[in-house]
Structure 1
Amino acid sequence: MTRRVVLSLLVPLALGACGTAATPAPTGTQAVAEIQAGSSFNETDVMFLQMLSYHQKQGLEMTSTAATRATSPQLKTLAEAVRATEADELTMIQGWLTQWGKPTTADPAAGLHADHGGLPATGPAEIKALTTVSPSSFDTAFLNLFLAHQHNAIEMAHLETTNGSNKEAKAFANRVRESRQGEVRQMLKLMNG
């Protein structure tokens, strides 16, 4: 399945009907990465995108592992869909930050992020552990880790919708919140199914 096809199939799940006139929901012919942000922004907008960039890179690493190691076909499909969406979102995020003349990553000093919940909480050791956990334990280990990871994205999105000023970034944060809540619901069903 091509990346465009995966994105077009995932759009209803990940983005719902959240598009606005300023930030339309992507279709099979428009990737998220093609959405442009306005030039007016504040520090919260920048920090949200920088933190989410870091978060997306972690998500891509975890979902790449799940796409090859998961035993549940539904989990593999979910991981591949999330990976396609987040790769496209990451391109958009980095494009916006570059357009604004800002670094595409957040400063890793933990003390700088205390006021907005800190950097994403998933650590490199936890992500690496997904590559070595036994095959029979992988699905549960991944779901537990990725549930917490996506919940962190929901918290970051809330911070942006509360304190951000760029309307495209706020609309994107709303889509992030809604799509990750949908993913959390799907993962909980997989855990309980």
Structure 2
Amino acid sequence: MSTHHTLARFAAAAAGVVAAVVVLSACGSTAHDDHTPSTRPSASPARHNAADVSFAQGMIPHHRQAVEMADLAATRAASPEVRSLAAQIRKAQDPEIRTMSGWLAEWGEPVPSAGGSGEHGGHSMAGMMSEEELEGLENSSGKAFDTAFLTLMVEHHEGAVEMARSEIENGAYQPAKDLADAVVTAQTDEITRMNKLLGRQ
């Protein structure tokens, strides 16, 4: 009888342990489930949306055209201030082109091709020059070039600022929004400088 009671007590204790394990497992699972949603937002900064793709695909050819204009200034501008500004524009926008191209490649989206219609075909975007405007700039030099360059670049920058503000408002990819914010800051300052050189301020 003593052995029977001992076995019964052992069985009861074992059942209790199993029940406790089951309860604890259930609690652990519930706790994990409760925390799972809170870990998901940590990945959201890396996500992008259609506005981010549109921004990068539009700003790349926009920047390329600005760099092309800046290259012309190196040999055609009469004003040291214009040449200095053009060098600054190229220094800022070349790396941004590479950065945005990298984003598009990472996202599996087409990267606008360099040269040809990749740039000038997009002149319908805000501030983009037409083929005729670019040709006229290429064929000018000296003070005439300076005036044309500054006039066109102000319009070009205003278009970039408009695109960047749209990205800040509608984008989801934080690095793209940060770049857009930098574009607004830098190019708004350059617009002010160029208008002063044109005698508008």
TM-score w.r.t. structure 1 length?
A: 0.71
Partner of 1:101: 108
Structure with the greater relative contact order (CA < 8 A, sep ≥ 6): 1 or 2?
A: 1
Other structure's SS at 2:198 match: helix
- Asked if 1:74 is matched to 2:81, the reply is yes
Question: Which amino acid in the other structure matches residue 77 of structure 2?
Answer: A
Q: State the Cα deviation string for residues 130-155 of structure 1 (Å, max 9, x = none).
A: 11125331111111101000000000
Distance 1:134 1:63 in 2: 13
Distance 2:106 2:138 in 1: 36
Other structure's SS at 1:151 match: helix
- How many residues were matched structurally? 147
Structure 1, unaligned stretches of length 5 or more? 1-37
Distance 1:78 1:140 in 2: 13
Maintained 8 Å contact 2:53/2:109: yes
Partner of 2:130: 123
Maintained 8 Å contact 2:73/2:86: yes
Compare the two structures and name the one with the higher helix fraction.
2
Q: State the Cα deviation string for residues 11-49 of structure 1 (Å, max 9, x = none).
A: xxxxxxxxxxxxxxxxxxxxxxxxxxx641000000001
Q: State the Cα deviation string for residues 72-101 of structure 1 (Å, max 9, x = none).
A: 101101101111111111111101111111
Partner of 2:66: 59
Q: CA deviation at 1:125?
A: 1.9
Match of 2:144 among 132, 137, 142: 137
Distance 1:139 1:119 in 2: 23
Distance 1:96 1:77 in 2: 30
Q: What is the Cα-based RMSD across aligned positions, in Å?
A: 1.9
Partner of 1:14: none
Distance 1:147 1:130 in 2: 14
Maintained 8 Å contact 1:161/1:170: yes
Percent same amino acid among aligned pairs?
A: 35
Q: State the Cα deviation string for residues 102-136 of structure 1 (Å, max 9, x = none).
A: 11129x8xxxx9xxxx5243212211211112533
Distance 1:179 1:166 in 2: 20
TM-score w.r.t. structure 2 length?
A: 0.69
Partner of 1:151: 158
